[in-house]
Structure 1
Amino acid sequence: MEKISTEVYEKIDNDLYNADGDIWWRPDTVLHILKTGVNPCRVGYFKKVLTRLNIDPAGKTALEVGSGGGILTEEVCKLGFETTGIEPSENSLNTAINHAKQSGLNIKYEQGFAENLPYPDQSFDCVVCCDVLEHVMDLPKVISEISRVLKPGGLFFYDTLNRTFVSKLVAIKIWQEWKRWAFMPPNLHNWDMFIKPQELKTLLAKNNLDWKEHRGSSPSVPVPTMLGYLRKRAKGTWSFVELGEKFFLVESNDMNILYMGYAIKGD
């Protein structure tokens, strides 16, 4: 893959993350679903990989690239890592800082961009990048920077959206555009910026990151049931809290919409 054109990039609305107030931790906001409907799946997967590799996070350093309001960053910290989060949005960053203080978590947050990470080479034992790769303009540069700041043998965890017909129908049309079911803001994602697994594997290989596996992240219920749940939310019968209790992601073999995986930095 190459750097996204300005024309394609401007179709995505990253300004959502600059909105006033706490758009992350309030239960009446769409981003709160990350906590209830997305994190359990991916954090469970990360834990499984750490166990499989016999890695104890205690005393090791982790960086979350694109940390937003800290919803995933706090989970990384709770795993035992000495955790840093980097985020371009000042509003999201302030939300994350305040929430970490309220939660008694020692997390270092900094403002910055994934294409130019302000850290020396080989600074971290682990880098986590979720819900971000499909939002950046220069994906090759982001992967290069992640590899640069990882120590040899360090872990790179990620998840992203696959560019398939199914993901266009579900993630763009149903989740984002068709008002009968949509629960995401319009233009939150641009299908042209979604990443095929093989494309990501190629970028990893070019940057001394040894790809290990991919796993799918699928809705917990069949499509007809999902549509019924989303309709209840759209009509106001359900809140985002109730939607998150019923509709969430589970690890699967199906990578048609979302997938997650990890790679290890070479020597």
Structure 2
Amino acid sequence: MTETARSTIDQSEVDRFSAMAAEWWSPTGKFKPLHKFNPVRLAYIRDKACENFGRDPKSARPLEGLRVLDIGCGGGLLSEPVARMGASVVGADPSEKNIGIASTHAKASGVSVDYRAVTAEELADAGETFDIVLNMEVVEHVADVEFFTTTCAKMVRPGGLIFVATINRTMKAAALAIFAAENILRWLPRGT
């Protein structure tokens, strides 16, 4: 199998998140934990990007002129605020429904994000490169983690950054972060 024929897509995961697409922008809905965590995550991304690219994190648009890929962007919860920081953002997700929700919200919010229903491998095969690649809570939903991370890394320009976040894969994390968050506290939809 050639690299271009390989796929990282787990269709059951795409279907699961497509079914929840209308919930992305509800701060009290299924993605409430992402809404709550986003300010911390955004500050970290901004600060590390500014440190790497010699920018002032206190400026109104500290990521001005940087090209950013938000792979697995879902409804655009991370893409929009990164674009507000001045970055030229490509939000990519294999779910047409997610991209539709993200595009509609960005337009209504007056934020410019280039949303595309594509995969990481399609972007890499097209020769796309970025100053920053955001891979946040995505690796646990792909079919081939090694190929996915390698593909994402290939799109980072020399001197650029890649941010990867996922739940720790330990028994303690499974018990606390997954079982409790999904089944006891009901902070997350089951199976996500």
TM-score normalised by length of structure 1: 0.60
Give the structure 2 partner of residue 126 of structure 1.
132
CA contact 2:182–2:190 (8 Å) conserved in 1: yes
Q: Which amino acid letter does the alignment assign opposite residue 179 of structure 2?
A: K
2:123 pairs with 114, 117, 124, which one?
117
Runs of 4+ in 1 over 6 A off after TM superposition: none
5+ residue gaps, structure 2:
1-9, 56-61
Structure 1 residue 182: deviation in Å? Answer: 2.6
Task: Choose 1 or 2 for highest CA Rg.
Answer: 1
Question: Aligned partners of 1:177 and 1:86: how far apart in 2?
Answer: 30
Question: Aligned partners of 1:96 and 1:109: how far apart in 2?
Answer: 7
CA contact 1:125–1:151 (8 Å) conserved in 2: yes
Task: From the superposition, tell whether residues 13 and 83 of structure 1 become closer, same or farther in structure 2 (CA, over 3 Å).
Answer: closer
Structure 1 residue 157: deviation in Å? Answer: 1.4
Task: From the superposition, tell whether residues 21 and 71 of structure 1 become closer, same or farther in structure 2 (CA, over 3 Å).
Answer: closer
Question: Aligned partners of 1:64 and 1:172: how far apart in 2?
Answer: 24
Q: Which amino acid letter does the alignment assign opposite residue 68 of structure 2?
A: A
1:87-136 CA-partner distances (Å, limit 9, x unpaired): 01111110000000011111101111234435643621111110111111
Give the structure 2 partner of residue 52 of structure 1.
51
1:186 maps onto 2:185 in alignment? no
Q: Give the fraction of aligned pairs with identical amino acids, expressed as a percent.
A: 31
1:34 maps onto 2:21 in alignment? no
Question: Aligned partners of 2:182 and 2:21: how far apart in 1?
Answer: 22
Question: Aligned partners of 1:86 and 1:92: how far apart in 2?
Answer: 9
1:135 maps onto 2:141 in alignment? yes
Structure 1 residue 175: deviation in Å? Answer: 0.8
Give the structure 2 partner of residue 172 of structure 1.
178
Q: Which amino acid letter does the alignment assign opposite residue 17 of structure 1?
A: F
Question: Aligned partners of 2:73 and 2:167: how far apart in 1?
Answer: 17
Q: Which amino acid letter does the alignment assign opposite residue 189 of structure 2?
A: P
Give the structure 2 partner of residue 22 of structure 1.
22
Q: Which amino acid letter does the alignment assign opposite residue 92 of structure 1?
A: N
5+ residue gaps, structure 1:
1-8, 189-267
Structure with higher helix content: 2
Question: Aligned partners of 2:21 and 2:43: how far apart in 1?
Answer: 29
- Structure 1 SS opposite 2:24: coil
1:139-178 alignment runs, 5 A limit: 139-178=145-184
Question: Aligned partners of 1:120 and 1:95: how far apart in 2?
Answer: 25
1:244-255 alignment runs, 5 A limit: none
Question: Aligned partners of 1:61 and 1:48: how far apart in 2?
Answer: 16
Structure 1 residue 177: deviation in Å? Answer: 2.8
Give the structure 2 partner of residue 102 of structure 1.
108
CA contact 2:182–2:189 (8 Å) conserved in 1: yes
Question: Aligned partners of 2:67 and 2:151: how far apart in 1?
Answer: 16
Structure 1 residue 149: deviation in Å? Answer: 1.6
Question: Aligned partners of 1:70 and 1:103: how far apart in 2?
Answer: 12
Structure with higher strand content: 1
1:61-102 CA-partner distances (Å, limit 9, x unpaired): 111000100011111111211111100111111000000001
TM-score normalised by length of structure 2: 0.82
CA contact 1:121–1:148 (8 Å) conserved in 2: no
